[in-house]
Amino acid sequence: MVIRRAFLNFPKSFLGVLIHFLACGVSEAATRPPYTEVFYPSGNLSIQAYLYKPFGDGPFPAVIYNHGSRQGNERRPTPFPYIGNLLTQAGYVAFVVERRGYGGSDGATIRDEVGNNRRRLVARLQAETDDVLAARDYLLTRSFIDAKRIGIMGWSFGGIVTMFAVSRSNDFAVAVNQAGGALTWNGNADIRNALVAAAEKANTPTLLMVAQNDRTTESITTVGEIYNRRGVPHRAVIYEAFVPQGAASDTPPGHRVFSAEGVHVWEKDVLEFLGRYLAIKTTEKN
């Protein structure tokens, strides 16, 4: 297990990027690959997603990104441009999914379906996992996607969905779990049991990430311990306490490290791990 130091303020590299962006203005921003809004089927539902594609014809490796709960803002479209930019600049297609009940997707919101009944949460997140597995099926229909190199990544509830997905399918080349279950681990035994069960079944190489000052680190360290015992390729990273610069929130400060504000803390770890399993090997190029 690795403990990383989290920056308490924006690093010089971030300030350099900001100055460069301001100096270049709109002309450079216009060269960035825009996202395309798409809808794809998941059972009898229509699911909205944002597809970010690097320039060129491909085929490109792809990463499906899973958002968190967005408490109270489920229907607000959220394309996560910082994820799209990070991944496309590294040569990946980013597919940001608005799971059922979010954004413009069909289905009831998680608040309407689950409410205060925590016993319904696992079933709901498993249903949302159906949407993610359907997202992979959709990507396979696009000619610019490398079918052998599709990964999955998620933050918070999206991290739980990521774990559920790799426990139900061995077709993902790599996974990244950012604080999946950190907010619910201590208060919901069903979520704890479901994450443990998922870790006991999953075989996908996984990067596990959490900050020391999240609500708990156990949802990540427990999965890491199970993977150690089972011999599943993985890396567990615990970041030192993260102090957000934004407005105060009920969310633990460490949980916010995986927002746009904290991307400078973890982007290197994510890109290095994805590169191990999604990069084209020299022998395959010949």
pLDDT digits (tens, 9 = 90+) for 132-154: 999 999 999 999 999 999 999 99
Q: Which distant-in-sequence residues (6+ apart) come within 8 Å of 228 by Cβ?
A: 234
Give pTM, 2 decimals. 0.87
Q: Look at residue 241 and tell me if it is in a domain.
A: yes
Q: Where in the sequence is the domain holding 212, given as residue range(s)?
A: 33-278
Average pLDDT, the chain: 88
- What proportion of the chain, given as a percentage, has pLDDT over 70? 85
Whether residue 66 is contained in a domain is answered as: yes
- The pLDDT score that the predictor gives to residue 72 is 66
How long a stretch of residues is the chain?
A: 286
**How many structural domains comprise the chain?**
1
Query: Tens of pLDDT along 32-54?
Result: 548 999 999 999 999 999 999 99
Q: Are strands 206-211 and 175-178 parallel, antiparallel or unpaired?
A: parallel
Question: If you write DSSP's letter for every residue of 229-241 in order, what string do you get?
Answer: HHT--EEEEEEPP
CA angle 82, 220, 84 (to 5 degrees): 15
Stretch (H or E) spanning 88? helix 81-89
Q: What are residue 41's DSSP bridge partners? A: 46
Does residue 232 lie in a domain region? Answer: yes
The bridge status of strand 45-52 relative to strand 93-98 is antiparallel
pLDDT value at residue 237:
98
Query: Is 5:269 a contact under the CB 8 Å cutoff?
Result: no
How far is Cα 129 from Cα 164, in angstroms, rounded to an integer?
Answer: 7
Report yes or no: 93 and 144 within 8 Å, Cβ to Cβ.
Answer: yes
Looking at the chain, which runs of residues are DSSP E strands? Answer: 2-4, 35-42, 45-52, 60-66, 93-98, 145-155, 175-178, 206-211, 234-239
What average pLDDT does the segment 193-203 reach? Answer: 99
Decide if 24 is inside a domain: no
Interatomic CA distance for residues 139 and 23, integer angstroms: 36
Within 8 A by CB and 6+ apart from 156, the residues are 67, 68, 69, 178, 179, 180, 182, 183, 255, 258
Residue 248 has pLDDT above 50, yes or no: yes
CATH number of the domain bearing residue 223: 3.40.50.1820
- Residue 15 counted as domain residue: no
Residue 18, in any domain of the structure: no
Is the CB of residue 61 less than 8 Å from the CB of residue 149?
A: yes
Q: Is residue 48 part of a domain?
A: yes
Region 93-101: what's the mean pLDDT?
A: 97
Could you tell me the two tokens for 20?
């460069």
Q: Catalogue the long-range contacts made by 115-123 (C-beta closer than 8 Å, 24 or more residues apart).
A: 118/187, 118/188, 118/190, 119/190, 121/184, 121/188, 121/190, 121/191, 122/190, 122/191, 122/194
pLDDT in tens, 160-183: 999 999 999 999 999 999 999 999
Residue 210 within any structural domain of the chain: yes
